[in-house]
Chain A
Amino acid sequence: MKTYNNKGSVDTRSGFGAGLEELGKKNANVVALCADLTGSLKMDAFKKNHPERFFQIGIAEANMISMAAGMTIGGKIPFTGTFANFSTGRVYDQIRQSVAYSNKNVKICASHAGLTLGEDGATHQILEDIGLMKMLPGMTVINTCDYNQTKAATLAIAEHDGPVYLRFGRPKVANFTDENQTFEIGKAVQLTEGQDVTIIATGHLVWEALEAAKELNEKGISAEVINIHTIKPLDEKAILESVAKTKCVVTAEEHNFLGGLGESVARTLALHKPAPQEFVATEDTFGESGTPAQLMEKYGLNAKSIIEKAQKVIKRK
């Protein structure tokens, strides 16, 4: 079984910050907007090196999203930065009308997604954002798994013409993907090859899926792990090919099971090739305060939970 090494844990938001700073040097049309969370979003380097293209909006996310839409009219490529909760739920109508319906080339970059925001609690831990964003026609939805992939995705979305939601997080997590990877929007990445179960994971759950696959392997179960960084458009071909072989699937995400990656996979399977599926996701609940590890354990979003679901789904074949 192919294994992956953690090259040192680092937060995905820092991958965004590094990608944004590189874009600042490479692409004069890239502008950045932030709603009073420059440090949290790791936008300091861009702000320092490209002050004329950095817009401090203040605590006014609605104004930020609509302003970004307006900037595209002058040929700019705006990257907005705030927490995932304030990037989506708080400004849904602004995104819907001024960005998605108007088809503006805005990149909505969202940190601190999901439970792993930790101690701030449920007011800040959005678990509904993937669903909200994937429902918008024309919106591309990306949830990256580590520092290197987040950096690569940040660079890639600047080249994509159209609105994008890029979701990443706060905690330090394993950095295991290639430093110099090419990020292809909409293209799944098969991480391990397996015969018994397909594990389709996104975001922070990808590393957990690899850890789960290792343990399953020791138990004699061969798991195929697929990293779905792009939830919309979904790489249906990769999913169907894998499930045709394994005949069952576990989806894993730091998101509500309603509206998330799991539902997108279930729809794909229902339309083309029905197969048993288990969901590693929060179950229609809000989060709470705690450390990221405590929360992921309590809400069943870790390797242990993936292993249990994998064993369960195999029995349902």
Chain B
Amino acid sequence: MSTTQQLQDFVTQVRRDILRQVHQVNSGHPGGSLGCAEYFSVLYQEVMDYSTDFKMDGQNEDLFFLSNGHISPVFYSVLARSGFFPVDELNTFRKIDSRLQGHPTTHEGLPGIRIASGSLGQGLSVAIGAAAAKKLNNDDKIVYTLHGDGELQEGQNWEAIMYASGNKVDNLIATVDYNKKQIDGATDDVLALGSLKAKFEAFDWDVIELKEGNSCDAIKSALAEAKSRTGKGKPVVILMETEMGNGVDFMMGTHAWHGKAPNDEQLTSALAQNPETLGDY
């Protein structure tokens, strides 16, 4: 268990890693990555039970699946700083011959990744499969997932959502990054999601609303609450309201930084707002 300050330092360093990764190759997705820095940090530093001696089958470990694979910078940073691979390897993000592909993949054998994601809408189904295998294996650990809110426009999610409640997949905690933005603009303008709470409840899921999705304490509480609701016959979802671009003033309150890297000047400003805490790679 880390102290609140240690966790906040971790988050700050993760933000720096995100910004520096995308800046270096002038590509990648900083907005959603920054918005989920706290979630990933809490999940890997506080919540999940896992071994960094990576084994694909993950038996008797909690598993995590990132469905919205484009926020790979935050995933890579947190995996590296949690001990899955050397932090220096973040320097290879999106470069030729790298294990850190633009979107996460098992293809290059990067420890911590169990499925390719990037083409949206597949992660929940994969996680349900992994959760079903855990039950067959009498493995009582939990499967965690993260999804974009815009990603829920993909129809496959609703196949999976229907399946999970219909089949009592109750060793699964899905989280939706509810930042209400996607590449083309506000989700309400692109394709309105309506009430996600009402939708999930109509599909018979147990819904937890997390209004402060950029507060480590609030995330910790929500995940603990979610865990306490597992094993009760219903899949659990956390609707986690976040700020896209969180922690960098000019990236917040807009969808503009969904898939755009900062220039040199913008990077300097963004890093100044997030001073080095654990050492840059």
Contact = CB atoms under 8 A, between A and B. Distances in A.
A201 to B, nearest CB: 35
Residue in A31, A102, A103 whose Cβ sees the most chain B Cβ within 10 Å: A102
Nearest to A33: B129
Contact of B136 (A69, A76, A101): A76
Given A98-B116, A101-B116, A70 B107 contact: no
Contacts of A94: 122, 125, 156
A52 interface: yes
Contacts of B106: 102-103
B234 interface: no
A60 B133 contact: no
A257 B116 CA distance: 32
B112 to A, nearest CB: 13
Interface in B50-107: 56-59, 63, 65, 105-107
Contacts of A136: none
B118 interface: yes
A70 B159 contact: no
A97 interface: yes
B122 A75 contact: no
A67 B122 CA distance: 9
B164 to A, nearest CB: 9
B57 A73 contact: yes
Contacts of A53: 136
B236 interface: no
Nearest to B63: A73
A173 interface: no
Interface string A57-71: 110101111111111
B36 interface: no
A67 B116 contact: no
A57 B169 CA distance: 13
Interface residues of A, number: 32
Contacts of A102: 105-107, 115-116
Given A73-B114, A97-B117, A67 B156 contact: no
Contacts of A64: 125
A113 to B, nearest CB: 24
Which has the most chain A C-beta neighbours within 10 Å: B114, B121, B130, B133? B133
Interface in A59-116: 60, 62-76, 78, 93-94, 96-98, 101-104
Interface string B160-197: 10110011000000000000000000000000000000
Contacts of A98: 115-116, 122, 125-126
Nearest to A67: B129
Interface of B: 56-59, 63, 65, 105-107, 114-119, 121-123, 125-134, 136-137, 139, 155-156, 159-160, 162-163, 166-167
Given A60-B159, A75-B57, 20 more contacts: A31-B136, A55-B167, A58-B159, A62-B156, A63-B125, A66-B129, A66-B160, A67-B129, A67-B132, A67-B163, A70-B127, A70-B132, A73-B63, A73-B114, A74-B57, A97-B116, A101-B105, A101-B107, A102-B116, A104-B115
22 contacts: A55-B132, A57-B163, A58-B159, A58-B163, A60-B160, A62-B125, A62-B156, A63-B156, A66-B126, A67-B160, A70-B127, A70-B129, A71-B129, A73-B58, A74-B59, A75-B133, A76-B133, A93-B122, A94-B122, A97-B116, A97-B118, A98-B125
